[in-house]
Amino acid sequence: MKRVLITGAAGFLGSHLCDLFVKEGYHVIAMDNLITGRLKNIEHLFPLENFEFHNHDVSKFVHVPGKLDYILHFASPASPIDYLKIPIQTLKVGSLGTHNLLGLARVKNARMLIASTSEVYGDPEVHPQNEEYWGNVDPIGPRGVYDEAKRFQEAMTMAYHRFHNLDTRIVRIFNTYGPRMRLNDGRVLPAFIGQALRGEDLTVFGDGKQTRSFCYVDDLIEGIYRLLHSDYTNPVNIGNPDEITIGEFAEEIIKLTGTNQKVIYKPLPLNDPKKRRPDITKAKAILDWEPKIARSEGLNLTYDYFKKLSKEELSEVDHYDFEKFIN
Ligand code: UDP
């Protein structure tokens, strides 16, 4: 039986990866320190023989007994308000955590896939973003802790690949949505759906003309699985190129939820990218992959999940000092 270590296993993407690898017959070693992940996302896997969970911070030395065939490093805070709340941990998990796991991959002779991000492109001056673009990142802005940790992570991974011949893969993940996103993680989809469900107005930041391109989680997970099993070692964008403005997205959520609330405008956070859309030519050519789930379908599936949350879960909204985040 192939053995895979998944870090960030209790998070949004990590938990979906656990489901897929368990289903495909792997032995899954799930690791998370639960600062942004939740056990609820993986507790259905606990009774299974081919699943084990380790509560551990991968920024500290990582020990896993037995053989390992694959390591998927998905541990990281991943929403702008989390970076503000836990900036040092964000930097550490991308840098020290990646270094520890690369070391583990070497010892185990395992293939290592790292979760990188469209944030390596920063506020992009090239549109759509292809893998050759070097990016436009402010290292000291509020997003810098995430962007630079992920850029360092890519650099470190390529160094291990080139210097130690380690077998590595790099996925650059664009905006993704679906069941198990944290309702209070501050990102636009859970924010809007949470507001609609609580009967609050929807908060659009800036003039709402900034764009994003949203990929349904099942499509993304399939792309990552294909990349892991390909022999391509340079970064690959995985995302859905269907681009929309945030203002239009708010209207779609209003229609989806049937809420009577309106849109209200708030200041745009500092360094908020003006546009983002993946060029997925490489993923299509190398992995024979493209997203299959249209936003209308994906939003319905996601809304079904959020609708079932309890009143307590719905009211669990963290209040951050957004002023620090604003220009
Ligand atoms: N956004 C918004 N209202 C919210 C939360 C986010 O208008 O309540 C905007 C945010 O400013 C950004 C876009 O939605 O332009 C996507 O934000 P998110 O935090 O989901 O991810 P990002 O792509 O910025 O990392």
Give the tens place of pLDDT for each residue, 95-148: 999 999 999 999 999 999 999 999 999 999 999 999 999 999 999 999 999 999
Distance from Cα 133 to the centre of ligand 1, integer Å: 22
Number of domains, the chain: 2
Q: Is the CB of 245 under 6 A from ligand 1?
A: no
**Would you say residue 205 has pLDDT above 90?**
yes
pLDDT band at 216 (very low <50, low <70, confident <90, very high): very high
The CATH code of the domain that includes 148 is 3.40.50.720
Are 190 and 59 within one domain?
no
The least confident of 105-109, 202-206, 236-240, 316-320 is: 316-320
Are 250 and 129 within one domain?
no
Distance from Cα 188 to the centre of ligand 1, integer Å: 4
Q: Is the CB of 190 under 6 A from ligand 1?
A: no
Are 55 and 75 within one domain?
yes
pLDDT cut 90: percent of the chain above it:
91
Range 261-273 average pLDDT: 94
DSSP states along 246-303: HHHHHHHHHHHHT----EEEEPPBTT--S---B--HHHHHHH-------HHHHHHHHH
pLDDT band at 327 (very low <50, low <70, confident <90, very high): very low
- pTM, to two decimals: 0.96
The CATH code of the domain that includes 195 is 3.90.25.10
**Would you say residue 81 has pLDDT above 90?**
no
Which two structure tokens, joined as six digits, stand for 316? 């669990």
Q: Is the CB of 205 under 6 A from ligand 1?
A: yes
Atom from ligand 1 closest to the CA of residue 191: 8
Q: Is the CB of 210 under 6 A from ligand 1?
A: yes
Which protein residue's CA is at the shortest distance from atom 14 of ligand 1? 188
Label residue 139 exposed, middle or buried (CB < 10 Å: 0-12, 13-18, 19+). exposed
Find the domain containing 252 and state its range. Answer: 181-213+241-272+293-321
**Would you say residue 312 has pLDDT above 90?**
no
pLDDT in tens, 273-289: 999 999 999 999 999 99
